[in-house]
Amino acid sequence: MKDLKYYIDRVGQIFEEECFIADPAELYAPIDYTLRLGGKRIRPTLLLVANAMFGGDIDAVRHAALGIETFHNFTLLHDDLMDRSPVRRGQPTVYVKWDENTAILSGDTMFALAWRYFLRQPTPHLQAILNTFNETAIEVCEGQQYDMNFERRDDVTIEQYMMMIRKKTAVLLAGALNIGALYAGAPTSEVEKLYRYGIHTGLAFQLQDDLLDGYGDTAVFGKKTGQDIRDNKKTYLPLRAAQMCDETQRRQLAALFSSHDIDEEEKVQQVMNLYDAVGLKCEVERAIATEFDAAHRALDSIGVADEAKEPLREMLAQLDGRKK
């Protein structure tokens, strides 16, 4: 029986064995830098696990695993530039280490390289796989656009926020699972169940991110909490808090999230006090648990041997307990 660690290790091996260097070096060195930084590589891992669940063979999807991670990293290069994020995985982002044009063009090339990987992976299901990949890519772009739109709005609803994080984060996890399953010839009904597992897992993951920003243990979380508050970022936390507040509190919260002149640490403290007053932490934990439950139910419903589902159960257990 292969556990989650087995697949994580295999993904690590696949990336170690792959060469990302080519000419011109100015184009490919940033690609090599990015893909060698590692990170959790959760998407290729999900792809391998889903493939194995339906009897696939890792060697027959190694290029697809490289493809999905290369695509994900393309979005990071462009997102970090658009969001002006200077650090990723503890290292300077490409637009900082090189320059903006490098982040744009090496990113574009990574998108094309992702396609090259998928096109190199023989399969009778090519059309369905490429459609899944591409429609996912379009949704990820739309998600990033909604995210940027929402920063300029203060009337975003919880439903709109959930739609945004579904597109920006969840669909690519679900897409990776579906692509893995499609390579193994899984039937449509099971592919759809895996998709639900991926979506709910992705939503839980993003809501955890939002929660950790407010309530993470700085020592474990690895960064200062409250950054979303300092940035006036309307994540699930302020959106849900606004629903739970009375009129006075709601006005206070809105004022805090539109102020730029108040001392930053004072602002974080006041917002957290409001969150605590309405019992926000418990409420968000409940929302996360609901997503994890839905992911579990989707996984349970898939028609393969129970032990084949173990790695995806482990994934949920690890995410459920994560502190960073």
| Segment 192 to 211, residues that bind its own copies, using CB under 8 A | none
CA distances from 36 to 46, 85, 122, 305 (A): 19, 19, 25, 35
Smallest distance, its own copies to C-beta of residue 83, A: 9
Instruction: Build a one-symbol-per-residue string for 14-53: x at contacts with its own copies by CB under 8 A, - elsewhere.
Output: ---------xx-xx--------------------------
Residues 6+ apart with CB under 8 A from 104: 78, 81
Q: How many residues of this chain bind its own copies (CB under 8 A)?
A: 34
CA distances from 272 to 4, 79, 121, 280, 281 (A): 36, 28, 50, 9, 10
Q: Could you tell me how many helices (H) and strands (E) the chain has, helices first?
A: 17, 2
- Taking the least distance from each CB to its own copies, the nearer of 51 and 109 is 109
Q: Which is nearer to its own copies, 24 or 90 (CB)?
A: 24
The candidate with the shortest Cα–Cα distance to 72, out of 93, 44, 50, 97, is 44
> Minimum CB separation from its own copies for residue 36, in Å?
20
Minimum distance from residue 138 beta carbon to its own copies (Å): 5
Contact with its own copies (CB under 8 A): which of 37, 60, 126, 304?
A: 126
Could you say which residues in the range 127-166 bind its own copies, by CB under 8 A?
A: 127, 130-131, 134-135, 137-138, 141-142, 144-146, 148-149
Amino acid at 240: R
| Residue 104 within binding range of its own copies, rule CB under 8 A | yes
- Which of these, 1, 31, 2, 3, lies nearest to 18 by C-alpha position? 31
The neighbouring-strand residues paired with 92 are 87
Contact by Cβ (8 Å): 288, 207: yes
Cβ-based neighbours of 36, under 8 Å, separated by 6 or more: 15, 20
Q: State yes or no: residue 105 binds its own copies (CB under 8 A).
A: yes
Residue 87 forms beta bridges with which residues? 92
81 touches its own copies (CB under 8 A): yes
**Position 289 contacts its own copies (CB under 8 A):** no
- Of the pair 135, 306, the CB lying nearest its own copies is at 135
Residue 82 is a binding residue for its own copies (CB under 8 A) = yes
| Residue 81: CB minimum distance to its own copies, A | 7
Identity at 84, one-letter amino acid code: R
- 126 or 277, CB closer to its own copies? 126
Q: Of 46-54, 100-108, 183-191, 242-250, which part binds its own copies (CB under 8 A)?
A: 100-108
Closer of 27 and 277 to its own copies (Cβ): 27
Provide the minimum distance between the beta carbon of 178 and its own copies in the complex, in angstroms, as a whole number: 15
98: contact with its own copies by CB under 8 A: no
Rounded least distance, CB 95 to its own copies, Å: 11
- Classify residue 185 by its DSSP letter: T
Q: Which three-class secondary structure string do you get for 46-93?
A: HHHHHHHHCCCCHHHCHHHHHHHHHHHHHHHHHHHHHCCCCEECCEEC
What is the rounded distance in angstroms from the CA atom of residue 105 to the CA atom of residue 222?
31
Contacting positions for its own copies (CB under 8 A): 23-24, 26-27, 78, 81-82, 101, 104-105, 107-109, 111-113, 115-116, 119, 126-127, 130-131, 134-135, 137-138, 141-142, 144-146, 148-149
